A and B are shown apart, each in its own frame.
Chain A
Amino acid sequence: MHKNSEESKDTGLSSLLSRVKGKNTSSEQEKAIRLLSEAGLPSRRVENWKYTDLRWFNQHQFVKPVPVNTQQVQEWLEENVFPLPNLSELPRLIIANGQIIKEFSTLFDDSNCQIDIKDGVYGSLGRLQKDIMTTLNYAIGQQTLQLTISKGQQAGTILFVYLGYGQNDGLVSFHHRLNIELQDHAQLSVIEMNAGCGEYFTNPVCEIKVGPRANFEYNKLLNSSLESYNCANLYVSLADHATYRQFLISKGSKFSRQEVYIDINGEWSNASFQAVQKLADRQHADITTVFSHLVPHCQSDQNVKNILTDQSHGVFQGKVFVHQKAQKTNAQQQNQALLLSDQAEINTKPELEIYADDVKCSHGATVGALDEDQLFFLMARGIPFHQARDILINAFVAQAVEDVNDPIAKQLLKEQLGVEVVEDIT
């Protein structure tokens, strides 16, 4: 790993690490700090970071969050959650600037979920040595939120809200750690909203263990401030007959990288990942996935759609690994990009690594502009250019959210994508 020449005590990684160095730390945390101090951040010469540049780190002095003004949080909720009956009635957890805002969090009263908050960062799925943002989370994180859905419990839908507020003294950073465990036959659907204002950096790590025959749906909306930096790492482990479905909409952030690692450890399980990156201006958004099929008879599919305007830059690196034992695997991956300007850019890198011989794996990537003949057809029917264009963009992304099971999430995601919620008028 290349070491960035970052010697100044005041900026970049060292300003972040200075927060925790020399404090009473656990062995994992110490290890993480040591790893980061030695290796530094990866440069673009590291294969996995070829398309995403972390040099912005060095332009900032990282600072600790100050306690958040709950008035601000209330205002956000009043605007974005409370007016929507479907959403406001959900048990919710509100975290602002890394701090749980208990007065607005109703999840603690929800008997379907067991919540445990521990000091320090714990986990078992995240790869401390390999994934730099996970290492960072271990190094700086302060506490672990553990959510357990016990055997057979149908926990319905819950809402997570992560808010970030920039500070004047430097780049404030938040390093949440959330571990979710669904035991046998349990069910949970999570809607996660990320929002905020100003400049900040979020570095959450989430681990999800989906037990035998359990069912988890994770609908994440990254709508963070357009000045913010967001790097989220997600680890999922599936037991037999488990179902995991994720929908990710990435439209906020100046810079984002979402890493998704799914280990399929139990037979007859199913993982689905659908994402839409809708970017404009100079936004950079990266989705990097590794789906590991480790046992036979499992299915996975990944569909990532990009709609890129202005000088935005989308990245999708998707890897499917099929272990020698994982016969009868059915894995599908698709990446599509709609480039709406000459200066928008997409980098897509599909990777298949297959050691079993009786599997069905496919991947495909398409990049293109809007179809001129389709656009002309709509305009020839009297529909003005901008509206015609929106209809086609709408059609391109609509499919991605069509399969969301949770009706509340579906409505929210559609609205956020600007997908016209088309009622069936017939």
Chain B
Amino acid sequence: MNMVLEIKNLHASVIDETAEDSRKEILKGVNLSIPAGETHVIMGPNGSGKSTLSYVLSGHPSYEVTEGSVTFKGQDLLVMTPDERAATGLFLAFQAPVELPGVNNANFLRTAVNSVRKARGQEELDPVKFLKLVRELAKKLSFSTDMLKRNVNVGFSGGEKKRNEVLQMTLLEPSFAILDETDSGLDIDALRIVAEGVKSLRSPEFSSLIITHHQRLLDHIQPDYIHVLAKGRIIHTGGPELSRQLEAEGYGRLVGEADA
């Protein structure tokens, strides 16, 4: 099978120079393979390493990989800088997108799009073409064009920030997206809009890894597999029915079995 992402025995630590124990291991041997075209979900208790996994995959400097490998589209992902990862087709939708005071959203979006287009050997978009594209997409996401004029995420509501993430994802045309709790803090309408945005990207060339705590998003997006991450490892993998089972039972039994 054609794997987009192959994670083997991944160990990673968070670096905190101010802490006494400056290297704290969070991921303790993650194995995960995602074929092209599939949607996988990661669920798991708080503190199990879900966000760490997404940061490690996208190259955040506060995390250090101590063991294992990650192959993305046949290339060693871990040697790439974050921008190279983005250009290769990886996208991370942040759980808590940062605010960028003084950076105009439309200009940021255009710079990002043209950076990846340039790196992929595609023609850069002039302002007119770009605006046409971004306006169309914004409409689909019920994203007011006023948000294009404002500074990136500054004064955005939680829902607006998440929609901005989905807008960025759509514009950057990734082949693999990680959505880190993109559904958290969204009202029912916003959730549907975000889910539609993710669904619209679905194709045999697009895979995703969705980190979530809730069934609701999964009602909109039917995943292929659900993995349970606990204590830095994937302890269980199941089909789409697993999320309902977890919602009913909680993680206790699975974590207990893994410990045994």
Contacts and interface: CB of A to CB of B under 8 A. Distances in A.
A in complex with B = yes
Interface of A: 371-374, 376-385, 387-388, 391-392, 394-396, 398-399, 422-426
Report, nearest first, the 6 A-B pairs whose CB atoms are least far apart.
A395-B102, A382-B86, A382-B116, A379-B82, A381-B112, A382-B115
A425 B97 contact: no
B110 A380 contact: no
Given A374-B98, A424-B104, A380 B86 contact: yes
B13 interface: no
A12 to B, nearest CB: 45
A409 to B, nearest CB: 20
A381 B115 CA distance: 8
B209 to A, nearest CB: 15
Contact of A376 (B60, B103, B116): B60
B106 interface: yes
Contacts of A371: 98
B81 interface: yes
A425 B100 CA distance: 18
Select the residue from B92, B102, B113, B168 with max chain A CB neighbours within 10 A: B102
Contact of A381 (B81, B86, B145): B86
Contact of B107 (A374, A387, A422): A422
Contacts of A422: 104, 107
11 contacts: A379-B83, A380-B82, A380-B94, A381-B115, A381-B168, A384-B81, A391-B103, A391-B108, A395-B102, A424-B104, A425-B107
A394 B172 contact: no
B102 A383 contact: no
B73 to A, nearest CB: 15
Select the residue from B91, B106, B112 with max chain A CB neighbours within 10 A: B112
B156 interface: no
B82 A376 contact: yes
B137 interface: no
Contacts of B142: none
Contact of A382 (B60, B94, B119): B119
B212 interface: no
Select the residue from A378, A380, A392, A399 with max chain B CB neighbours within 10 A: A380
B172 A395 contact: no
A388 B58 CA distance: 16
B60 A383 contact: no
B111 interface: yes
B49 to A, nearest CB: 18
A422 B82 CA distance: 25
Given A376-B61, A426-B131, A383 B83 contact: yes
Interface in B113-135: 113, 115-116, 119, 127, 130-131
Contact of A426 (B98, B101, B119, B149): B149
A395 B108 CA distance: 11
B203 interface: no
B148 interface: yes
Interface string B64-98: 00000000000000000111011100011010011
Select the residue from B98, B113, B145 with max chain A CB neighbours within 10 A: B98
Contacts of B92: 380
Contacts of B108: 378, 381, 391
A425 B119 contact: no
Contacts of A384: 81, 83, 115
A250 B99 CA distance: 29
A383 B103 contact: no
